[in-house]
């Protein structure tokens, strides 16, 4: 009967719920500051059909790993530099990791943001808990790296401070 305790342990692990944001809205994680202004309303995707419509192709990649919901918001500063923010909540933390692993690539620079992050020339990807986030810059110039890092860091801080 040695198998019984092992079975119980496995069952308990299996049923531990994934970390849930508990956040009312993903928009709670959007950074707020005086420099970067939102460009129009955020686009939400709360189901498969929404996701297909929102990202115009490639939704399958997200669904494969347990897509739950997503939010897309663009920001612009006074110099017409732009940042696009994509926040995706997966059903499980492992889903966010799988998605990140697939998209991170091998030639980026690893940076210390969230659970794991990678910085490429014009974009930064990170994951934290069940969330996968991409920050993409347009026309950021020499300050691109710094701006992407700051934007990502502010999202992480919002995630950490939002009531759960």
Q: How far is the CB of 22 from other proteins (least distance, A)?
A: 27
CB of 56 to other proteins, least distance (A): 5
Is residue 111 within 8 Å of 119, Cβ to Cβ? yes
* Interacting residue ranges for other proteins, rule: CB under 8 A: 39-40, 43, 48-49, 52-58, 60-61, 63-64, 72, 74, 82, 84, 103, 105, 120-123, 125, 134, 136, 138-139
User: Which is it for the CA torsion 154, 155, 159, 163, positive or negative?
Assistant: positive
Give the residue with the Cβ less far from other proteins, 15 or 107: 107
- How far is residue 159's CA from residue 89's CA, in Å, rounded to a whole number? 12
Least Cβ distance, residue 153 to other proteins (angstroms): 18
Q: Which of 35, 120, 33, 29 is nearest to 82 (CA)?
A: 35
Q: Name which of 125 and 159 has its Cβ closer to other proteins.
A: 125
Residue 70 contacts residue 54 (beta carbons within 8 Å): yes
């Amino acid at each position: 009967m040695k198998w019984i305790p092992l079975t119980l342990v496995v069952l308990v692990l299996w049923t531990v719920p994934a970390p849930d944001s508990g956040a009312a809205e993903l928009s709670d994680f959007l950074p707020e500051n005086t420099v970067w202004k939102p460009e129009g309303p955020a686009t939400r995707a709360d189901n498969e059909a929404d996701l297909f419509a929102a990202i115009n192709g490639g939704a399958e990649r997200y669904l494969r790993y347990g897509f739950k919901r997503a939010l897309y918001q663009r920001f612009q500063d006074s110099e017409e530099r732009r940042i696009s923010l994509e926040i995706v909540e997966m059903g499980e933390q492992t889903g966010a990791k799988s998605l990140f692993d697939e998209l991170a690539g091998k030639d980026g620079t690893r940076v210390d943001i969230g659970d794991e992050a990678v910085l490429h020339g014009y974009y930064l990807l990170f994951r934290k808990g069940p969330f996968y986030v991409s920050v993409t810059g347009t026309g950021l110039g020499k300050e691109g790296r710094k701006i992407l890092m700051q934007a990502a860091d502010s999202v992480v801080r919002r995630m950490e401070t939002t009531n759960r």
